Amino acid sequence: MREPVLTWCVPLELLCSHPLPVSAFLKTQVKLYTYRACAGKDEMGKMVSVINTVDTSHEDMIHDAQMDYYGTRLATCSSDRSVKIFDVRNGGQILIADLRGHEGPVWQVAWAHPMYGNILASCSYDRKVIIWREENGTWEKSHEHAGHDSSVNSVCWAPHDYGLILACGSSDGAISLLTYTGEGQWEVKKINNAHTIGCNAVSWAPAVVPGSLIDQPSGQKPNYIKRFASGGCDNLIKLWKEEEDGQWKEEQKLEAHSDWVRDVAWAPSIGLPTSTIASCSQDGRVFIWTCDDASSNTWSPKLLHKFNDVVWHVSWSITANILAVSGGDNKVTLWKESVDGQWVCISDVNKGQGSVSASVTEGQQNEQ
Amino acid sequence: MEELDGEPTVTLIPGVNSKKNQMCFDWGPGEMLVCETSFNKKEKSEMVPSCPFIYIIRKDVDVYSQILRKLFNESHGIFLGLQRIDEELTGKSRKSQLVRVSKNYRSVIRACMEEMHQVAIAAKDPANGRQFSSQVSILSAMELIWNLCEILFIEVAPAGPLLLHLLDWVRLHVCEVDSLSADVLGSENPSKHDSFWNLPGNTQTLTELELKWQHWHEECERYLQDSTFATSPHLESLLKIMLGDEAALLEQKELLSNWYHFLVTRLLYSNPTVKPIDLHYYAQSSLDLFLGGESSPEPLDNILLAAFEFDIHQVIKECSIALSNWWFVAHLTDLLDHCKLLQSHNLYFGSNMREFLLLEYASGLFAHPSLWQLGVDYFDYCPELGRVSLELHIERIPLNTEQKALKVLRICEQRQMTEQVRSICKILAMRAVRNNRLGSALSWSIRAKDAAFATLVSDRFLRDYCERGCFSDLDLIDNLGPAMMLSDRLTFLGKYREFHRMYGEKRFADAASLLLSLMTSRIAPRSFWMTLLTDALPLLEQKQVIFSAEQTYELMRCLEDLTSRRPVHGESDTEQLQDDDIETTKVEMLRLSLARNLARAIIREGSLEGS
């Protein structure tokens, strides 16, 4: 199977004969949909997925593509220095905007929450972060942030509850935080030397109000503790917290990788007290970090898998039940947690089946 | 329990060249984006022709099928009915209710099958026709499995009726069975067959039945041994069939379309009073004999076999794998859970498997522009994670129309999802402002209890008034009621409008005091004071004295306060210069009016006191 593939990795076992604590219910394994795009015998129930293709007409490599909040618009960015926005409702593709403004390859785009309007952020090799806004039906550059000395690699909007805040990670090792203060003004806070050599990824923690979530009197903002995670070329993942004085402080260092951390992704909250972060690295490993209690600060890593090549990108589905990982092996693999807390991609490794190479078998101590 | 083996299934993305390029992805709310990329971030990319395509991949394709939609809609009704079945009911009445539910589900599947079959026949494009036909066969398989599960797990038919149910089951799904039974009935002893199988309404006990059957079976054996029918090989083989001889049965393989048909026929003749727990022996051997080592079992076969083995979990597991959407396993598992079957299998998280499958199914529904509403109800009946899943999904529903937005809000409000209500109202308010529908924006911000936004919108209203001299959306502002208290600016807007009303009703004294209080209480933003004072002019110039001396002093004080604090914020120099002239004139006029009014007021008050 030498074709590029999207592997839907299996979970599982619907059954487990070990009694489990109630908290483990979350971790039931279930098999995902099966797809066979190639023609074969008429197997029961196997329907081909609908694949829409959007022709972006980018003239160079595409580096990122992001759906907006509702899945109606698609933003893409490319080495051709442009950011494009498409309307993809009902399987269509209408180019809404072709935004020029960067002077180098654009690495990432990120949509802000719709309550702030139609806002898109992009970051580029040209050391700039540009915030684009749709005003009266047209997209325009709303703000430009040029506070970095090197390529800006990652941008991520904070949970909407915190306001309109953008975190940017750069190859100059710094992380800057842009907060919209109104009337077209943005306030900048910079964390210098967040990571030595460079910062590759930033990801915000979901908004959780400490204590009980009582209905706040109107106009008063609840006291959120703002946190985000960053991954860098120092092989570390760092967790940052905003102090009462508004300054950002390094709260934790998560060490487990032996090479540059390429991406971090903080999982959306599903109402449980656990926090989960996924990280991937040049060392081919993907770790799942969990912290059981919001107030305690012990994070424990679990190795999801060791790939044969660099792993570049990890991302959680919106209900956090699937983690997608893309690596240098030209595949995107999907993972789900199993009943006994193991992360599974293949259901039955022991029988030597599967299209992933044999090295997968190590470290996969499966149920049974 | 055995692991299910299967490699992770692979979806090939056409057009992505893996030899040259890597693949990156991102999640959308209900889909995934995939495209070719190069992760090595260099400034100059290699001169490799890159693919400009982004692929959007969806999991829940079936959601978009027109015909299946009926299935989803109608089964939704059945699902809700099932959840509401009185938990107090036990025993026979409960069982009969559950069987009825099962039959309802099955009839819905059949109806869908019928319709799809019609479409398949009528299809002009043969490829479409084939696709529909294959969908029909999938639905048929689903009904087959469900029916068997109903017999074995829900009806829990005991020995005796069990075989009858199985006969019906096979008859429903395989037409050829009729020809075989016709054959058999045409044999020498039809009367014996008739009376023996006259079971509906039969009052014989199982033992009586068994005895009768044994007797008849022995008689047939004797005939065979005596070679009574030796002259007719056809009749002899018929006799062998009636004795349940597998080899003889298999000779008629063309009449038996599949192994479970073979199984039931075999049981009919060799062990009609088979007990449920013995079924699986016969099932496995029937499958093996029928396939005869020539072919291997298909997924459907494995599922049926698991059912005969009463391994519910294996059935669910295999169905999850084989089928392309969660509809079947979610509804079946839910029903079995209501039959208290999952717990009895002693799986600690048995009930959570139900929830898990329902969550997956419901999530799939949210990918659809109108079916998402069904999904809401499914989430409601998932006690552990239903609520939070609903919260995460409902915010992602595109609010294309006002009606849709209201529908979504109603759902959130009914469930006290205040965060979601607030967030959605804010989004709508923002959208309204951008489209200049200020009234709409204001009502959304009030609903969201968003003071900051209410202030913003009120400012826009006031600005509009300054520019055009009139208010838009008067109805809304006039009827704010207690909502006015949301923000100071909003309160001011409401009160200011009230001033205008009073003025219109010629309640000058009231209007005057209100106007003054707006300034003195500091509710009015400073930037608006000039406008307010200008509004006071006509009151000052009335024939009758409206403002008392005291009030006039206050007004003067406000004016001085205002003029002593130039420049007013934000204006540029050139604007300032132009405004200066207008401002000076206004101020002069005001000073004059105020002075005159003061004079008249003093005189009037002095005279009143005097007389």
pLDDT digits (tens, 9 = 90+) for A100-113: 999 999 999 999 99
Q: Give the three-class secondary structure for A326.
A: strand
* Residues in A touching B387 (Cβ below 8 Å): 271
Helix/strand number for chain B, H first, E second: 28, 4
Higher pLDDT among residues B582 and A358, named by residue: B582
**A105/B1 touch (CB, cutoff 8 Å), yes or no:** no
pLDDT digits (tens, 9 = 90+) for B92-118: 888 899 999 999 999 999 999 988 888
DSSP tag of B593 = H
Higher pLDDT among residues A243 and A356, named by residue: A243
DSSP tag of A263 = E
Nearest to B61 among A50, A66, A319 (CB): A50
Is B193:B175 a contact under the CB 8 Å cutoff? Answer: no
Evaluate if pTM is beyond 0.90: no
Residue B230 CB neighbours (<10 A) = 10
Query: What was the pLDDT predicted at B46?
Result: 53
Query: What was the pLDDT predicted at A341?
Result: 57
Is B434:B426 a contact under the CB 8 Å cutoff? Answer: no
* Residues in A touching B325 (Cβ below 8 Å): 33
Is A262:A231 a contact under the CB 8 Å cutoff? Answer: yes
C-alpha distance from residue A139 to each of A59, A98, A119, A146, A158 (Å) = 21, 9, 9, 20, 22
Angstrom distance (rounded) from CA B555 to CA B570 = 25
pLDDT band at A214 (very low <50, low <70, confident <90, very high): very low
- Helices (DSSP H) in B471-611: which residue ranges? 474-478, 488-504, 508-520, 529-540, 549-563, 573-610
**B9/A351 touch (CB, cutoff 8 Å), yes or no:** no
Angstrom distance (rounded) from CA B564 to CA A315 = 59
User: Which of B33, B399, B484 is the best substitution to test chain A (most A C-beta atoms within 10 A)?
Assistant: B33
CB-side exposure of A163: number of CA atoms within 13 Å?
Answer: 19
In angstroms, the separation between the Cα of residue A248 and the nearest Cα of chain B is 26
**B356/A55 touch (CB, cutoff 8 Å), yes or no:** no
Nearest to B45 among A79, A315, A351 (CB): A79
**B22/A151 touch (CB, cutoff 8 Å), yes or no:** no
Chain A: residue whose CA lies nearest to B27: A317
Angle at CA of residue B498, ends B495 and B502, nearest 5°: 140
Interface membership of A342 toward B (CB under 8 Å): no
Angle at CA of residue A285, ends A284 and A291, nearest 5°: 160
Interface membership of A39 toward B (CB under 8 Å): no
Chain A: residue whose CA lies nearest to B396: A70
Interface membership of B437 toward A (CB under 8 Å): no
pLDDT digits (tens, 9 = 90+) for B133-169: 888 888 889 999 999 999 999 988 888 788 889 888 8
Chain A: residue whose CA lies nearest to B57: A51
How many residue pairs bridge chain A and chain B with CB atoms within 8 Å of each other?
322
**B418/A215 touch (CB, cutoff 8 Å), yes or no:** yes
C-alpha distance from residue B26 to each of B312, B363, B435, B509 (Å) = 36, 18, 31, 65
C-alpha distance from residue B511 to each of A203, B356, B479, B499 (Å) = 56, 64, 18, 5
DSSP code string of B232-279:
-HHHHHHHHHHTT-HHHHHHTTTT--SHHHHHHHHHHHH-TT--GGGH
Return residues 224-253 of A near B (CB < 8 Å): none
**B9/A10 touch (CB, cutoff 8 Å), yes or no:** yes
- Residue B138: which residues within 8 A CB-CB, separation 6 or more? A44, A45, B323, B324
Query: What was the pLDDT predicted at B570?
Result: 53
Query: What was the pLDDT predicted at B93?
Result: 85
Q: Give the three-class secondary structure for A58.
A: coil
What six digits make up the tokens of B5? 């083996």
Query: Could you tell me which of A135, A192, A190, A137 has the C-alpha nearest to residue A167?
Result: A190
**A62/B52 touch (CB, cutoff 8 Å), yes or no:** yes
In angstroms, the separation between the Cα of residue A192 and the nearest Cα of chain B is 22
Beta bridge partners of residue A302, listed in sequence order: A288
What strands lie across the sheet with A185-191, from one edge to the other?
A152-157, A165-170, A175-182, A185-191
* Residues in B touching A49 (Cβ below 8 Å): 11, 57-59, 61
Q: Give the three-class secondary structure for B369.
A: coil
* Residues in B touching A184 (Cβ below 8 Å): none
Chain B: residue whose CA lies nearest to A351: B5
Mean pLDDT for all residues in chain B: 80
Angstrom distance (rounded) from CA B591 to CA B552 = 11
**B30/A37 touch (CB, cutoff 8 Å), yes or no:** no
Return residues 289-348 of B near A (CB < 8 Å): 298-300, 313-314, 316-317, 320-325, 347-348
Interface membership of A10 toward B (CB under 8 Å): yes
Query: What was the pLDDT predicted at B39?
Result: 65
Query: What was the pLDDT predicted at B558?
Result: 86
DSSP tag of B472 = S
Interface membership of A14 toward B (CB under 8 Å): yes
pLDDT digits (tens, 9 = 90+) for B267-316: 888 888 888 888 989 999 988 888 887 888 888 899 999 999 999 888 98
Angstrom distance (rounded) from CA B115 to CA B94 = 32
What six digits make up the tokens of B276? 């449920």
Interface membership of A330 toward B (CB under 8 Å): yes
**A62/B6 touch (CB, cutoff 8 Å), yes or no:** no
Cα pseudo-dihedral A74, A77, A80, A85, rounded to 10: 30
* Residues in A touching B298 (Cβ below 8 Å): 43-44
Query: How, if at all, do strands A73-78 and A227-232 pair?
Result: unpaired
Query: What was the pLDDT predicted at B12?
Result: 60
What six digits make up the tokens of B200? 């509906």
> Lowest-confidence range among A66-80, A201-215, A219-233, B530-544?
A201-215
Return residues 128-157 of B near A (CB < 8 Å): 134, 137-138, 141
Interface membership of B56 toward A (CB under 8 Å): yes
Angstrom distance (rounded) from CA B20 to CA B184 = 66
Q: End-to-end alpha-carbon separation of chain B, Å? A: 108
Chain A: residue whose CA lies nearest to B22: A330
Q: Is B554 exposed, middle or buried (0-12, 13-18, 19+ CB in 10 A)?
A: middle
Angstrom distance (rounded) from CA B171 to CA B153 = 20
Is A356:B8 a contact under the CB 8 Å cutoff? Answer: yes
C-alpha distance from residue B209 to each of B189, B272, B423 (Å) = 18, 9, 69
**A268/B32 touch (CB, cutoff 8 Å), yes or no:** no
**B353/A55 touch (CB, cutoff 8 Å), yes or no:** no
Is A223:A209 a contact under the CB 8 Å cutoff? Answer: yes
- Residue A149: which residues within 8 A CB-CB, separation 6 or more? A127, A170, A172, A174
pLDDT digits (tens, 9 = 90+) for A293-348: 766 678 999 998 888 888 888 988 887 677 888 765 667 777 776 555 556 553 21
* Residues in A touching B385 (Cβ below 8 Å): 26, 270-271
- Residue B90: which residues within 8 A CB-CB, separation 6 or more? none
User: Which of A5, A27, A60, A61 is the best substitution to test chain B (most B C-beta atoms within 10 A)?
Assistant: A61
In angstroms, the separation between the Cα of residue A26 and the nearest Cα of chain B is 8
In angstroms, the separation between the Cα of residue A231 and the nearest Cα of chain B is 16
Nearest to B451 among A33, A219, A310 (CB): A219
Average pLDDT over residues B235-254: 72
Query: How, if at all, do strands A5-8 and A331-337 pair?
Result: parallel
pLDDT band at A221 (very low <50, low <70, confident <90, very high): low
**A79/B1 touch (CB, cutoff 8 Å), yes or no:** no
What six digits make up the tokens of B486? 């949301």
pLDDT digits (tens, 9 = 90+) for B4-37: 344 555 666 666 555 556 667 777 776 777 776 6
Chain B: residue whose CA lies nearest to A103: B43
pLDDT at B190 over 50: no
pLDDT band at B322 (very low <50, low <70, confident <90, very high): confident
Query: What was the pLDDT predicted at B198?
Result: 42
What six digits make up the tokens of A361? 């078998």
Residue A203 CB neighbours (<10 A) = 24
* Residues in B touching A46 (Cβ below 8 Å): 322, 324
In chain A, the domains with their CATH numbers are 1-15+27-140 (2.130.10.10), 147-206+224-351 (2.130.10.10)
Chain A: residue whose CA lies nearest to B56: A52
* Residues in A touching B29 (Cβ below 8 Å): 67, 69-71, 318
Interface membership of A60 toward B (CB under 8 Å): yes
Interface membership of A268 toward B (CB under 8 Å): yes
What six digits make up the tokens of A327? 């690596």
Domain ranges of chain B: 1-59, 506-564+576-610
Query: What was the pLDDT predicted at A40?
Result: 24
Q: Is A262 exposed, middle or buried (0-12, 13-18, 19+ CB in 10 A)?
A: buried
Q: What percent of chain A is modeled with pLDDT above 70? A: 71
Amino acid at the residue B562: L
Mean pLDDT for all residues in chain A: 75
